[in-house]
Structure 1
Amino acid sequence: MRLGKVVKSNSHCDYVVQLDDTMEVEHPPQADDYGFGTFVKLEEPDVRHWAVGLVYNSQLFNPMFLSNGPRLSSDPDPLFAPDLINETRTLLGVVLIGCLKQEPDRTYGVHGIPRIVVPVNTKVFRMTPDEIYQFHLNSSDRPQFSYYSHLLQFGGSFAAQLTQQVLKELADSSLFGESDRRALEILCRELSWKTMMGAMR
């Protein structure tokens, strides 16, 4: 499912995505489609895959907020204001955590900071469960979670909560075997303990 497009970057692995609205697509994404911790892929279908990322932040942009201009006492009449459009926007903060490597017989994930710079206007899509599973397999088809420390460092002010949520959702899913799910649960409990102890200091 398409969510929107890249409009700017704050760093090499921190991008801002503008969500599509009814002016751009017939069926824009709903609130449940781009929540905190959603896996997304940045790519041009059938052209090039750029990167995989996680939604770590959101911003609502409303140019009318605190506007000192005159206001109408009633709803505008479209007959006299045909060009009046809604300029509110929803922006998502996306941290890049790797990319998908596609080979003729399989697809697997490469975790870490992508080397390439993602261009402006690159389309952004929500990843399917199958794509998320493929991203968490290495070239030997073994489960991996190598972006753990990267996410803690570059996941914004909610990095610990974001990492915990991703770990828990992966552990609760049916994507991995029993031993791998236990490893993810242990990692999640350890991070939770470290976060709690850090807050008590």
Structure 2
Amino acid sequence: MKLGNVVKSNSHCDYIVQLDDSMEVSSPPLPDEYGFGSFVKLETQDRHWAVGLIYNSQLFNPAYLNTGPRLVSQPDPFFTPDLIRETRTLLWTVLIGTLEHQDDRIYGCQGIPTVVVPVNTPVFCMADLEIHAFHRNRDLQSQFCYYSHLLGCGGVFASQLTEQVLAQVSPLFEGSDRRALEILRKELCWKHTMGAMR
């Protein structure tokens, strides 16, 4: 499912995505498909650019606090302008790595991508299989190397975002891998709780 396109960047690993709406596509994304902590991939038909996480959103409405003249509620048969809604939904996305293809395998290269993602690059939701593959390295061992990067670049909700991502990712694994991710999540939750009590 395509969500929208890159319109701006705040830094090398912090991008803003403008969500597609009903004026641009026949089936715009549903709110459940681009929620807080959703995994996305930035790619074109020719190239995969990066994997990211939605960490914030903003509703843009130019009509808010507009003090200009307004139209009356009763339509005038001689004057019926076509009004276009200029409201937009913007998604803040932190880049956390790339998906690499080797033979018939897909694995993740986690960390800050080295390339600059171009403006207008399409952004898509990631399937569970892709999320699972991203959390495996070249040797198909589980990995979560972007932990500190997420805490530093995830905005004001960084710890909540990291905790939610760990809760989302751990069920994709089994055995010791799952236990390690759950321990990491509980430790972060404990630090977050103790920090709030100080």
Shorter-chain TM-score: which interval?
Answer: over 0.9
Whole-angstrom CA distance in 2 between matches of 1:9 and 1:189: 32
| Count of residues paired in the alignment | 197
Give the letter aligned to residue 38 of structure 2: T
Superposed displacement of residue 167, structure 1: 0.5
The answer for unaligned runs of 5 or more in structure 2 is: none
Whole-angstrom CA distance in 2 between matches of 1:103 and 1:76: 62
**Compared with structure 1, are the counterparts of its residues 8 and 146 closer, same or farther at alpha carbon in structure 2 (3 Å cutoff)?**
same
Is it true that 1:133 corresponds to 2:152 in the alignment? no
* Identity across matched positions, percent: 65
Superposed displacement of residue 31, structure 1: 0.5
Give the letter aligned to residue 35 of structure 1: G
> Which deviations, in whole Å up to 9, do the C-alpha atoms of 1:123-154 show, x marking residues without a partner?
00000001001100000011100000000000
List aligned pairs for 1:3-82, cutoff 5 A: 3-45=3-45, 47-74=46-73, 80-82=80-82
Whole-angstrom CA distance in 2 between matches of 1:2 and 1:147: 24
Moved over 4 A (4+): 75-79
TM-score normalised to structure 1 length: 0.94
**Compared with structure 1, are the counterparts of its residues 9 and 74 closer, same or farther at alpha carbon in structure 2 (3 Å cutoff)?**
same
Whole-angstrom CA distance in 1 between matches of 2:13 and 2:90: 16
Q: Which residue of 1 aligns with 2:178?
A: 181
8 Å Cα contact 2:55/2:93 also seen in 1: yes
Q: Which residue of 2 aligns with 1:151?
A: 150
Q: Which residue of 2 aligns with 1:118?
A: 117
**Compared with structure 1, are the counterparts of its residues 150 and 80 closer, same or farther at alpha carbon in structure 2 (3 Å cutoff)?**
same
Superposed displacement of residue 81, structure 1: 1.3
Superposed displacement of residue 3, structure 1: 0.1
TM-score normalised to structure 2 length: 0.96
Superposed displacement of residue 23, structure 1: 1.1
Is it true that 1:192 corresponds to 2:189 in the alignment? yes
CA RMSD of aligned residues (A): 1.4
Give the letter aligned to residue 95 of structure 1: V
